[in-house]
């Protein structure tokens, strides 16, 4: 009989982002259910002939599946520690659906044992060239694979990944320069030549927890930015990636509402029409995402909120 046809639909959906040959190899080796998949070790995948990149992606999906189960159990029993439950806080229940979904999937920034263990697994999986550093491209791909794996739906995972993609570089840059430059440098290949790695060009393992937290923070900021831009929720054809004065004035009620619920940033709580000129630091007549982020960051750091302290890690006074 055709072994591929006996693979359970749930496992097929979970592996939707992989080439057909990967699914075929798993099926031919009697991996046909999620329970079968969970039993696979790194060595098993290597013996099946998968490349390092494929092995890392498969291990990441396996890890995310196990973590999702543990997170549900923790939320149900009240043992989640410092980690947000899957339902989020009261304020986040009011957040736009896409943002809520993104933050639920990338919710590994806590200090508890579960989050630490999951971050260790994610770092290894995202580091596809196994050089001990994460490039922006690796982080971008890692977010995509994680979303697809946890949502078990390739199209939905890719949609959410694209939805917040403009915010990833901001999170990456802030995290990459957080830890002091190390004395002993690694190497990476550029144009076929090895060169010394500058820590500020990459996210190191020491900075990974910050990156995970920053992804949630900047996704939230971007969600509000996109809602103001074009005066509609999310990203639409009316958006031009900048906020005009008329868009800002028309969105003040939205800004104030968000500031008391799903985007509780200090600067937003006192936002008014005159804030436009304060945010538009280059006087160009429009607010771009970088200016919007910097304005919100400044408010958090000035008040030394938990978010401000987190965003200020590694900065000199």
Instruction: Please state, as a whole number, how many other Cβ atoms lie within 10 Å of the Cβ of residue 161.
Output: 21
Token pair recorded at residue 3: 């072994």
In angstroms, the CA 35 to CA 20 distance is: 20
User: What is residue 113's predicted lDDT score, i.e. its pLDDT?
Assistant: 87
In angstroms, the CA 173 to CA 178 distance is: 9
User: What is residue 230's predicted lDDT score, i.e. its pLDDT?
Assistant: 77
What is the SS3 assignment for 188?
Answer: strand
Predicted confidence pLDDT, tens digits, the chain (317 residues): 444 456 777 777 777 777 888 888 888 887 878 777 777 777 788 888 888 878 878 887 777 655 544 443 443 333 333 334 333 444 566 789 999 999 999 988 888 888 888 999 999 999 998 888 999 999 999 999 999 999 988 899 999 999 999 999 999 999 998 876 544 455 544 444 444 455 568 999 999 999 999 999 999 999 999 999 976 555 554 557 899 999 999 999 999 999 999 999 999 999 999 999 999 999 999 999 999 999 999 999 999 999 999 999 877 54
CATH node for 219-311: 1.10.238
70's CB contacts (< 8 A; 6+ apart) are 114
Token pair recorded at residue 252: 């003040």
Q: What is the phi/psi pair of residue 21, to 5°?
A: -65, -30
Contact 271, 259 (CB under 8 A): yes
In angstroms, the CA 123 to CA 132 distance is: 9
Contact 148, 101 (CB under 8 A): no
The angle, 0 to 180 degrees and rounded to 10, between the axes of the packed helices 52-77 and 113-126 is: 160
Quote the pTM value.
Answer: 0.68
Among candidates 124, 6, 205, which has minimal Cα distance to 26? Answer: 6
Q: What is the phi/psi pair of residue 286, to 5°?
A: -140, 155
In angstroms, the CA 174 to CA 216 distance is: 13
Q: What are the sequence ranges of the domains in the chain?
A: 3-172, 219-311
Contact 231, 238 (CB under 8 A): yes
């Amino acid at each position: 009989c055709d072994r591929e046809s006996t693979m359970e639909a749930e496992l097929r959906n979970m592996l939707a982002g992989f080439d057909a040959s990967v699914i075929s190899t798993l099926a031919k080796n009697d991996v046909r259910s999620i329970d079968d998949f969970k039993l696979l070790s790194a060595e098993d995948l290597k013996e099946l002939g998968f490349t390092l990149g494929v092995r890392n992606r498969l291990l990441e999906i396996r890890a995310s599946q196990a973590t999702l189960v543990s997170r549900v159990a923790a939320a149900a029993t009240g043992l989640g520690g410092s980690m947000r439950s899957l339902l989020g806080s009261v304020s986040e229940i009011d957040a736009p659906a896409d943002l809520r979904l993104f933050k639920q999937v990338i919710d590994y920034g806590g200090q508890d044992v579960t989050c630490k263990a999951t971050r260790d697994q994610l770092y290894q999986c995202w580091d596809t060239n196994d050089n001990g550093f994460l490039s922006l491209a690796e982080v971008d791909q890692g977010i995509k694979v994680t979303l697809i794996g946890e949502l078990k739906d390739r199209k939905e995972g890719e949609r959410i990944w694209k939805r917040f993609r403009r915010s990833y570089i901001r999170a990456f840059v802030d995290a990459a320069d957080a830890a002091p430059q190390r004395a002993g440098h690694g190497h990476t290949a550029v144009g076929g030549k090895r060169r010394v790695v500058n820590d500020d060009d990459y996210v190191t393992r020491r900075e990974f927890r910050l990156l995970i937290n920053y992804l949630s923070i900047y996704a939230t900021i971007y969600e509000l930015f996109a809602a103001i831009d074009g005066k509609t929720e999310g990203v639409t054809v009316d958006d031009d990636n900048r906020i005009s004065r008329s868009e800002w004035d028309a969105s003040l009620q939205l800004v104030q509402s968000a500031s008391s619920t799903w985007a509780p940033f200090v600067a937003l709580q006192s936002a008014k029409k005159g804030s436009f000129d304060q945010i538009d630091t280059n006087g160009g007549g429009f607010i771009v995402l970088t200016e919007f982020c910097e304005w919100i960051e400044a408010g958090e750091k000035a008040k030394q909120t938990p978010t401000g302290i987190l965003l200020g890690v590694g900065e000199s006074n």
